[in-house]
C-alpha cells in the first residue's frame, strides 16, 4: 500500500498489481523526456543480421502463409535437436511447439495442467506477469521463499515445506526474473527428488538460460532421470538473440501435454507469425557467436552497474544470470514504489520497485543492464543525488 | 532415453472439451511489394523490440480513423489494441466480458468462439436466456434479427462483440447507437489478406483498457514486423 499523497493516483491505484504497476511507470516514463529506462527486460542490442536476413528472404519469397498451430516442422525439429544438444533433453518434434513468446508458453502450460483449486508452487519473488495465467486457470499460488543470503537459489526443503494435498505443479524460473539468481544443479537434483516423491509437475522457464555468468552454468531439470514425463520446459528467442518484438518462443514436454497446449493455442491466439518462425529457425541453426558476444557485453555492463550500486549503498545477491540486478534499497528507508517514482521524476531514471514482483519486496528494486555502459554510468550519476536528498 | 509421450499427471479437465487440431489455412495471397518493403524497412531501422503493449501508435490511429470514416464510430486510439489475429481478440473479449458459468448469445455461426468459451467454462446459446452477459454478433446476421437483439442488449446491459472478420461489410455498426457504444467491442482481422502474419485488432468500449491488459498478460504485444507490414497494407486500402 502506498499512502504518500505526493505519488500520483495512477501509480497508487495499481500498486497492488505488480504488472500494472510496472506498466503505469513505463507509461509515465514514455510521456517524459530524456529518460534512461532500466525497467523493461527488452535487450537494447539488435537482432543479429543473419536472423533479420532470413526473415527478409522468407518475406520476399512469399513464405509467410499460416503454419500448423504447433509451428512449422523444420523449426520444431530444430528446437528438439537444439534442446537435445544443449539441454540434454530427450525430445522429438512431437514434444515441441512454437509459442508467441515465452509468456504465452507459461499461459498455455498452466491452462493445460491446472484445474480450479489446484496449487502451484512459485518462488518468491516472482515475475508477476505469470499471476494472470494462474488466476485464469483457477489455480492458487503458494509462495516458496528465497533469500539474498542464498543468492535467491531455490531450496528443496523450502519446496517440500510448501507442498499440500492440493499441490499439482512447481514453477521454476532459472535464471530468475527478477532476482538474477540461478537454481544450481545440485539444488535441481534435490528438487527433482521432491517433485517425484510428491508427484508434482515442474514447469520450468529457461528464457534466460543462455545468459548465465561464468563460472555459473545453466542446467535443465527435465534432463534428470524420471523428470522427462513431469517437466514442461519453456524458452524463447527474445532475450539471448535480442528478439523480443518477434514474439517467438517454444515449449517442450511430453507429447500429450504439448498437444493439449496446441489445442488451447488454437482457440486463444493461433499459430506464431510465420516470419518470426523463419527468424527463430535462423537463430537456432545459424552461427551462435552472437549469443557469446552479447553475454560478454552484459558481463561488462554488470561490473559497471554493480559498482554503481555499491556507491548508492544498495546491497545485492550475486547476479548469476539474466539481465537484471535485484538490489536491496532498504538503506534509503523509502518504500520501493515511492523510491522508483522519485528516481523517475527527479532522476529521470526508470527502474521497477520490488513490490512489482511480490507484495513483501518493498525494500528491493529491479534494475536492468539493457543500456550501453555510458548510459548505465549516467543513470548512476542521476540517481545518486536523488538518494542523497531523500535518504532517511 | 525415449522422448516422453504422457505427462505424469492428468491434464486439466478443460482440455477434453477443446476441438482437435485443425489443418492450417492454405490460402497465402501474394502481398504488394510495398508491404514487403515496409516490413524490411522496419527491420532495418531496428523495429525488433517489444512494441507498446496495445500496438504501434500508427496502427492504432489508423483503426480509430477507419472506424470513424467507415461507420461514424468514434473511438480513441488509446481504446484500440492490436492483437495476434482476431483469434486473440475474440478470446480476450470473451473471457473478460463473459463470466464462467454464464451464457453468450450468438445468433449464427458460433464456431469461432466455442473453444474460447469452453476454456472459460461459459456456453453458447442461440436464444435469450437469463444468464446471458454478452452478445456475439457479426454483420452476417439478418439485420432485423440483429436490431432486435441489440435492443435486448441495450435493455439488459449486455456487452456486445461485433466481429467484422471474414464478413461482408455494409454501413451498419451497433456503436452508431450512442446508448450502446460504451458496451460495443469491435473486432477485425487482416487474416484474409495476411493469414500467416497473425494480425487483428479490438477497439472501443469502456472495457478497452481491461482488454488491453488481458492481451498483454498472454502475448505481451503483437509481432512488431507484422504490425508494420499490416499498416502499409491498410494504408494502401488493400484490406
pLDDT digits (tens, 9 = 90+) for B130-150: 999 999 999 999 999 999 999
Residue A158 lies in a domain: yes
Whether A29 and A62 share a structural domain: no
Query: Looking at the predicted structure, is the pLDDT value of residue A17 above 80?
Result: no
CATH architecture of the domain formed by B50-235? 3-Layer(aba) Sandwich (3.40)
**Strands B184-189 and B159-163, how do they pair?**
parallel
Distance, CA of A348 to CA of A35 (rounded, Å): 5
Residue A2 lies in a domain: no
End-to-end CA distance of chain A: 19
Residue with cell 531496428: B46
Contact B225 A269 (CB under 8 A): no
The least confident of A15-24, A64-73, A128-137, A297-306 is A15-24
Contact A319, A114 (CB under 8 A): no
The domain boundary, picked from A241, A257, A285, lies at A285
Contact A275 B13 (CB under 8 A): no
Contact B7 A91 (CB under 8 A): no
Mean pLDDT of A257-277: 98
**Residue A2: what pLDDT?**
62
The domain boundary, picked from A267, A285, A303, lies at A285
- Cis check: omega of the bond before A96, within 30 degrees of 0: no
CA distance A310 to chain B (A): 31
Domain count, chain A: 2
Helix (H, G, I), strand (E, B) or coil at B137: strand
Whether A277 and A298 share a structural domain: no
Query: Looking at the predicted structure, is the pLDDT value of residue B203 above 90?
Result: yes
Whether A34 and A81 share a structural domain: no
Residue A375 lies in a domain: yes
Helix (H, G, I), strand (E, B) or coil at A41: coil
Query: Looking at the predicted structure, is the pLDDT value of residue A350 above 90?
Result: yes
Contact B187, B93 (CB under 8 A): yes
Contact B205, B81 (CB under 8 A): no
Whether A254 and A306 share a structural domain: no
Residue A350 lies in a domain: yes
Query: Which residues neighbour A103 within 8 Å (Cβ) at sequence distance 6 or greater?
Result: A129, A130, A133, A249, B217, B218, B219, B220
Query: Looking at the predicted structure, is the pLDDT value of residue A348 above 70?
Result: yes
Mean pLDDT of B75-84: 98
**Residue B8: what pLDDT?**
96
B138 touches chain A (CB under 8 A): no
Distance, CA of B154 to CA of A203 (rounded, Å): 45
Query: Looking at the predicted structure, is the pLDDT value of residue A1 above 60?
Result: no
A186 touches chain B (CB under 8 A): no
Query: Looking at the predicted structure, is the pLDDT value of residue A326 above 90?
Result: yes
Report ipTM for this prediction: 0.97
DSSP labels for A264-285? HHHHHT-SPPHHHHHHHHHHHH
Whether A13 and A137 share a structural domain: no
CATH code for the domain in which residue A186 is found: 3.40.640.10
What are the tens digits of pLDDT across the range B102-125?
Answer: 999 999 999 999 999 999 999 999
β-sheet bridge partners, residue A233? A204, A252
Going from the C-alpha of B165 to that of each of A23, A272, B23, B196, B233, the distances in angstroms are 30, 19, 20, 15, 16
Best CA proximity match to A190, nearest among A172, A176, A206 = A172
Distance, CA of A10 to CA of B157 (rounded, Å): 28
CA distance B144 to chain A (A): 30
Whether A277 and A139 share a structural domain: yes
Mean pLDDT of B56-80: 97
Query: Looking at the predicted structure, is the pLDDT value of residue A257 above 80?
Result: yes
| Closest alpha carbon within chain B to A44 | B49
Helix (H, G, I), strand (E, B) or coil at A88: coil
B29 touches chain A (CB under 8 A): no
* 76-105 of B, contacting A, C-beta below 8 A: 84-85, 87-88, 91, 95
Burial of A107 (C-beta count, 10 Å sphere; 0-12/13-18/19+): buried
Mean pLDDT of B221-238: 95
Whether A327 and A251 share a structural domain: no
Which of B18, B49, B89, B233 to probe the A interface (max A CBs under 10 A)? B49
Residue A4 or A89, more confident: A89
Query: Looking at the predicted structure, is the pLDDT value of residue B183 above 80?
Result: yes
Whether A350 and A384 share a structural domain: yes
What are the tens digits of pLDDT across the range A197-210?
Answer: 999 999 999 999 99
Residue A204 lies in a domain: yes
Which domain range does residue A361 map to? 9-45+290-390
Whether A231 and A129 share a structural domain: yes
Which of A102, A129, A241, A267 to probe the B interface (max B CBs under 10 A)? A267
CB-CB neighbors (< 8 A) of A10 in chain B: none
Residue A214 lies in a domain: yes
Query: Looking at the predicted structure, is the pLDDT value of residue A14 above 80?
Result: no
Query: Looking at the predicted structure, is the pLDDT value of residue B25 above 90?
Result: no
Whether A277 and A350 share a structural domain: no
Whether A81 and A174 share a structural domain: yes
The CA-CA-CA angle for residues A326, A168, A265, to 5°, reads 80
Percent of chain A residues past pLDDT 90, beyond the cut: 89
Whether A109 and A35 share a structural domain: no
Distance, CA of A181 to CA of A174 (rounded, Å): 7
CB-CB neighbors (< 8 A) of B85 in chain A: 269-270
Contact A107 B2 (CB under 8 A): no
Q: Which of B13, B24, B214 is closest, CB to CB, to A68?
A: B24
CATH code for the domain in which residue A319 is found: 3.90.1150.10
Percent of chain A residues past pLDDT 70, beyond the cut: 98
Best CA proximity match to B81, nearest among B46, B53, B39, B43 = B53
Residue A1 lies in a domain: no
**Strands B132-137 and B159-163, how do they pair?**
parallel
Distance, CA of B189 to CA of A14 (rounded, Å): 31
Amino acid at each position: 500500500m502506498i499512502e504518500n499523497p505526493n505519488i500520483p493516483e495512477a501509480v497508487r491505484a495499481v500498486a497492488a498489481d505488480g504488472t500494472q504497476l510496472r506498466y503505469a511507470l513505463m507509461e509515465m516514463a514514455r510521456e517524459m523526456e530524456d529518460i534512461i529506462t532500466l525497467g523493461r527486460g527488452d535487450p537494447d542490442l539488435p537482432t543479429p543480421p543473419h536472423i533479420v536476413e532470413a526473415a527478409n528472404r522468407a518475406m520476399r519469397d512469399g513464405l509467410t502463409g499460416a503454419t500448423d498451430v504447433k509451428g512449422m516442422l523444420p523449426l520444431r525439429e530444430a528446437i528438439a535437436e537444439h534442446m537435445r544438444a544443449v539441454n540434454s533433453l530427450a525430445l522429438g518434434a512431437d514434444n515441441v511447439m512454437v509459442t508467441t513468446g515465452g509468456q504465452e508458453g507459461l499461459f498455455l502450460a498452466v491452462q493445460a495442467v491446472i484445474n480450479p483449486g489446484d496449487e502451484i508452487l512459485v518462488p518468491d519473488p516472482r515475475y508477476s506477469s505469470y499471476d494472470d495465467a494462474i488466476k485464469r486457470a483457477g489455480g492458487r499460488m503458494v509462495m516458496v521463499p528465497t533469500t539474498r543470503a542464498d543468492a535467491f537459489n531455490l531450496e528443496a526443503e523450502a519446496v517440500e515445506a510448501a507442498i499440500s494435498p492440493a499441490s499439482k505443479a512447481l514453477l521454476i524460473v532459472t535464471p530468475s526474473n527478477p532476482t538474477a539468481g540461478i537454481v544450481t544443479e545440485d539444488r535441481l537434483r534435490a528438487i527433482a527428488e521432491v517433485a517425484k516423491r510428491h508427484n508434482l509437475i515442474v514447469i520450468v522457464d529457461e528464457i534466460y538460460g543462455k545468459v548465465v555468468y561464468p563460472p555459473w552454468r545453466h542446467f535443465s531439470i527435465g534432463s534428470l532421470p524420471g523428470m522427462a514425463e513431469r517437466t514442461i520446459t519453456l524458452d524463447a528467442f527474445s532475450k539471448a538473440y535480442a528478439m523480443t518484438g518477434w514474439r517467438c518462443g517454444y515449449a517442450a514436454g511430453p507429447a500429450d501435454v504439448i498437444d493439449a497446449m496446441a489445442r488451447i493455442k488454437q482457440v486463444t491466439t493461433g499459430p506464431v507469425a510465420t516470419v518470426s518462425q523463419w527468424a527463430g529457425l535462423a537463430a537456432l541453426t545459424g552461427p551462435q557467436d552472437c549469443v557469446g558476444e552479447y553475454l560478454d557485453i552484459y558481463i561488462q555492463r554488470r561490473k559497471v552497474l554493480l559498482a554503481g550500486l555499491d556507491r548508492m549503498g544498495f546491497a545485492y545477491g550475486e547476479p548469476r544470470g539474466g539481465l537484471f540486478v535485484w538490489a536491496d534499497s532498504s538503506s534509503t528507508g523509502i518504500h520501493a514504489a515511492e523510491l522508483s517514482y522519485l528516481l523517475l521524476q527527479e532522476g529521470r531514471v526508470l527502474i521497477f520497485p520490488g513490490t512489482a514482483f511480490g507484495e513483501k519486496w518493498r525494500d528491493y528494486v529491479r534494475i536492468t543492464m539493457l543500456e550501453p555502459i555510458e548510459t548505465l554510468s549516467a543513470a548512476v550519476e542521476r540517481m545518486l543525488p536523488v538518494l542523497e536528498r531523500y535518504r532517511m | 532415453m525415449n522422448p516422453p509421450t504422457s505427462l505424469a499427471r492428468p491434464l486439466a479437465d478443460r482440455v477434453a472439451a477443446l476441438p482437435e487440431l485443425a489443418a492450417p489455412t492454405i490460402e497465402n495471397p501474394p502481398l504488394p511489394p510495398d508491404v514487403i518493403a515496409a516490413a524490411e524497412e522496419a527491420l532495418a531501422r531496428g523495429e525488433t523490440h517489444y512494441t507498446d503493449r496495445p500496438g504501434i501508435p500508427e496502427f492504432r490511429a489508423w483503426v480509430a480513423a477507419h472506424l470513424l470514416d467507415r461507420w461514424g464510430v468514434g473511438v480513441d486510439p488509446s481504446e484500440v489494441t492490436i492483437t495476434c489475429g482476431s483469434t486473440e481478440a475474440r478470446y480476450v473479449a470473451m473471457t473478460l466480458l463473459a463470466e464462467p458459468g454464464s451464457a453468450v448469445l450468438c445468433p449464427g455461426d458460433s464456431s469461432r468462439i466455442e473453444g474460447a468459451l469452453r476454456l472459460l467454462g461459459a456456453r453458447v446459446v442461440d436464444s435469450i436466456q437469463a444468464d446471458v452477459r454478452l452478445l456475439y454478433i457479426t454483420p452476417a446476421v439478418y439485420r432485423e434479427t440483429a436490431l432486435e437483439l441489440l435492443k435486448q442488449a441495450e435493455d439488459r446491459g449486455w456487452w456486445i462483440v461485433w466481429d467484422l472478420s471474414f464478413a461482408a461489410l455494409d454501413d451498419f455498426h451497433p456503436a452508431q447507437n450512442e446508448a450502446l457504444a460504451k458496451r460495443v467491442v469491435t473486432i477485425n482481422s487482416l487474416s484474409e489478406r495476411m493469414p500467416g502474419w497473425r494480425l487483428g485488432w479490438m477497439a472501443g468500449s469502456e472495457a478497452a483498457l481491461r482488454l488491453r491488459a488481458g492481451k498483454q498478460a498472454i502475448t505481451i504485444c503483437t509481432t512488431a514486423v507484422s504490425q508494420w507490414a499490416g499498416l502499409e497494407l491498410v494504408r494502401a486500402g488493400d484490406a
